[in-house]
Amino acid sequence: MAKPKIHTMEELAEAIGVSRPTLSRYFQDPTKVSKSSVARIVDGLERVEYTPNFFATRMNRKTTGLIGVIIPYLNDLFFTLLLEAIETAALRAGYTVITQCSHADPAIEKRAAETFLSMNVDGAIVAPLGDNSDMDVYARLNARLPFVLMDSRPKALRDVDFIGSDHRQSTGAITEYLCRVGPPPVFLAMPRVNFNALEREAAYIEKMHELGHEPQIVGARLYHEHDHFEAHGLAVLDDMFARGQLIESSILCANDRVAIGALRAASQHGLEPGAQRKGGLRIAGHDDYPLCPFTTPSLTTVAQNVTAIGQTAVDRLLEKLRAENISENQVIRLMDGILKIRESA
């Protein structure tokens, strides 16, 4: 037999046999209702077909059970892994994650933050676009809600909690490794879309100076306006290899997607990165993009601990959600990168 369909809270209260105010209190906070009423309501809900209205039941609650997350790009497996780690941790804690992608557009990013404010999400975790982000909307988020930044740290938001990688350590580690196994590396930059690009570049320069080598940076400017990272790495090195440049160098790419383009440029010019023990072309990346083990040659890189970043960002947000006073001490957690030595260097 089909369950009776219920459309309003009045009908539901009648079907279950409790008063309308008791039912409302139950949906707002079950601990405010007597145990016998809870039992009767839980039992009653089994017997009818009724989906509580998300908006009505949450409008007067202190919590919506929602965590808002903003990521800058969707078509990037680093950010999807980060998002997966966040969703897994949030689900475990009973929260629903509402994700908005800013698609590299500050106007969409701003609209996403405003949607979170109007939805009364319990808290927000944001990987900001960077220099172009609307800092005012994030200042408002930070004033109104528990707020945690991840991945990238705009200067204007230096006082916000931050969970990310220690790019100084990670880029330093792979620079040192490359210096140990071959000639000192050239740095193939990515277009300066965010602070991480600059932090990695600075870390490379610092480590090179420390080891007594002259830093050399190529590819800091985009060849074509709308190129993706892979196309950028390919275009820069295709051009240089064609002129006989860098063909026996070590090349440290600012991220793995740039390095995948660099590997492609090498194969187009008949070069085999990592084939020689000493000397010869070497290519390395940063991040440990999921495809690194499957490229030809497989890509040497330094892994960001993306699962730990996502999990720690959720942990910190939950801590702030539980705290009475959210303006306590600032928390900054920088995770170490781990060398992944494969064939390309």
CB of 22 to a second copy, least distance (A): 20
The residue from 9, 11, 48, 103 that contacts a second copy (CB under 8 A) is: 103
Would you count residue 296 as binding a second copy (CB under 8 A)? yes
**Which one, 67 or 208, has the nearer CB to a second copy?**
67
Query: Cβ contacts of residue 270 below 8 Å, gap of 6+?
Result: none
Would you count residue 11 as binding a second copy (CB under 8 A)? no
- Please provide residue 333's backbone torsions phi and psi, each rounded to the nearest 5 degrees: -125, 115
CB 16, CB 46: distance < 8 Å: no
Residue in 75, 65, 57, 55 with CA at minimum distance from that of residue 12: 57
Tell me the window of 10-18, 156-164, 181-189, 292-300 that interacts with a second copy (CB under 8 A): 292-300
CB of 293 to a second copy, least distance (A): 8
Q: Which of residues 39-68 bind a second copy (CB under 8 A)?
A: 51-59, 64
Tell me the window of 37-45, 124-132, 291-299, 328-336 that interacts with a second copy (CB under 8 A): 291-299
C-alpha angle 206/246/273, rounded to 5°? 95
Q: Can you say whether the dihedral through the CA atoms of 153, 159, 163, 167 is positive or negative?
A: positive
**Which one, 211 or 275, has the nearer CB to a second copy?**
275
**Which one, 118 or 329, has the nearer CB to a second copy?**
118
**Which one, 85 or 186, has the nearer CB to a second copy?**
85
Query: Cβ contacts of residue 236 below 8 Å, gap of 6+?
Result: 188, 218, 219, 223, 262, 265
Q: Which of residues 247-286 bind a second copy (CB under 8 A)?
A: 260-261, 263-264, 267
CB 141, CB 124: distance < 8 Å: yes
The residue from 22, 24, 28, 115 that contacts a second copy (CB under 8 A) is: 115
Would you count residue 198 as binding a second copy (CB under 8 A)? no
Strands (E), 6-129: 66-71, 96-101, 123-126
CB of 266 to a second copy, least distance (A): 8
Residue in 218, 206, 215 with CA at minimum distance from that of residue 172: 206
Count other C-beta atoms under 10 Å from residue 143's C-beta.
10
Residue at 89: amino acid letter = A
**Which one, 153 or 340, has the nearer CB to a second copy?**
340
Rounded distance, CA 90 to CA 66, Å? Answer: 9
CB of 259 to a second copy, least distance (A): 10
The residue to which tokens 């495809």 are assigned: 291
Q: Which of residues 213-232 bind a second copy (CB under 8 A)?
A: 228, 230
The count of chain residues that interact with a second copy, using the rule CB under 8 A, is 49
The residue from 216, 298, 307, 331 that contacts a second copy (CB under 8 A) is: 298
Would you count residue 84 as binding a second copy (CB under 8 A)? yes
CB 75, CB 93: distance < 8 Å: no
Contact positions vs a second copy (CB under 8 A): 51-59, 64, 74-77, 80-81, 83-84, 87-88, 91, 96, 98-99, 101, 103, 108, 114-115, 117-120, 228, 230, 234, 260-261, 263-264, 267, 290-291, 293-298
